[in-house]
């Protein structure tokens, strides 16, 4: 299937302000892009692109005073399949993990796995290790946390999410990541688009989404504690240890976000005309 995706963010700035923007589709999906989702700014400013330490595409700009709009729009091909599942995927002993995976077992800014260790082992030690344990973590977080945009707080950590029982998708993800790391399951933070394909209306306003990937059976697998169901049309933008590594926008100065639009929509292909009789 084919999908059109993009975003438009409008800022009001009191002074010229350097910004870092992570809004482009991840390089791992670059070959699927029929139309690249190039970053466009209004007014036009110089854009410097670079790759961060996690391999994510980033753009540096210096936003001018006043109204500043950044936008992307692309066209991507997708298999149309849901997130892969392998319930037989096994958990690796820590000593057998690849070196570049070990960092996703350690505590990070929003995922205080060192603080939550006793809680995690108390609640999940009886669940078989591997896929079942990771899914049990997602089931717990999905039921424990109450979603609401009014609960959004940029500084909320996994421990605070557990204690408060409220949050948005990044909070669900941080808590699930922290609990998985406590249980020696490597877990990393991912952000991007998740479509409404296959969901029943009415649809909520589209937003960027957060989910986690866990390392089992020698591969990374998507788990989505916020939705915790079958999803189609998931498109990665960036991944890191937690949201601190992959803010969609980061400004080095005060700014006001006064406009925010995100879209990812399936393109309905026109039916091929039937052939007439000769």
Domain ranges of the chain: 2-80+248-266, 94-232
Spell out where the chain has E strands: 2-13, 17-21, 33-35, 40-42, 48-51, 57-63, 66-77, 146-147, 166-167, 187-194, 209-216, 219-223, 234-240, 249-251, 256-266
Query: Rounded CA gap, 238 and 245, in Å?
Result: 9
| pLDDT for the residue numbered 157 | 98
Residue 189's nearest CA partner among 92, 56, 99 is 56
Walking along the chain (278 residues) 10 residues at a time, the average pLDDT comes out as 97 97 96 97 97 95 98 96 95 97 97 97 97 98 96 95 97 98 98 92 88 98 96 96 96 95 89 42
Whole-model pTM over 0.85? yes
Q: Which one of 3.30.1600.10, 2.60.40.2250, 3.40.50.300, 3.30.70.1340 gives the CATH number of domain 2-80+248-266?
A: 2.60.40.2250
Query: Rounded CA gap, 107 and 112, in Å?
Result: 5
What CATH number does the domain located at 94-232 have? 3.10.620.30
Q: Are 219 and 89 in contact (CB under 8 A)?
A: yes
Query: Rounded CA gap, 179 and 136, in Å?
Result: 10
| pLDDT for the residue numbered 274 | 42
- Sign of the torsion angle spanned by Cα atoms 190, 208, 24, 82: positive
């Amino acid at each position: 299937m084919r999908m059109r995706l993009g975003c438009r963010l409008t800022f009001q700035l009191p002074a010229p302000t350097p910004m870092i923007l992570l809004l482009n589709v991840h390089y791992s999906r670059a070959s699927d892009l029929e139309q690249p989702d190039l970053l466009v700014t209004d007014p036009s400013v110089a854009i410097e692109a670079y790759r961060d330490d996690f391999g994510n595409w980033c753009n540096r700009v210096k936003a001018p005073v006043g109204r500043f709009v950044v936008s992307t729009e692309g066209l991507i091909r997708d298999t149309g399949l849901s997130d892969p599942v392998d319930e037989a995927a096994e958990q690796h002993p820590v000593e057998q993990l690849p070196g570049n995976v070990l960092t996703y077992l350690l505590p990070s800014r929003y995922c205080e796995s060192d603080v939550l260790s006793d809680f995690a082992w108390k609640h999940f030690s009886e669940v078989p290790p591997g896929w079942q344990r990771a899914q049990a973590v997602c089931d717990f977080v999905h039921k424990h946390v109450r979603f609401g945009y009014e609960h959004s707080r940029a500084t909320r950590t996994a421990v605070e999410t557990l204690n408060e029982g409220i949050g948005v998708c990044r909070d669900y993800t941080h808590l699930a990541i922290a609990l998985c790391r406590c249980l020696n399951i490597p877990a990393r933070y991912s952000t991007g688009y998740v479509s409404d394909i296959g969901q029943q209306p009415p649809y909520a306003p589209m937003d960027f989404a957060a989910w986690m990937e866990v390392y089992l059976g020698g591969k990374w697998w998507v788990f989505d504690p916020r939705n915790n169901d079958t999803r189609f049309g998931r498109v990665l933008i960036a991944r890191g240890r937690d949201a601190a590594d992959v803010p969609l926008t980061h400004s080095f100065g005060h700014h006001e976000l006064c406009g925010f639009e995100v879209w990812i929509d399936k393109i309905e292909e026109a039916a091929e005309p039937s052939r007439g009789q000769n």
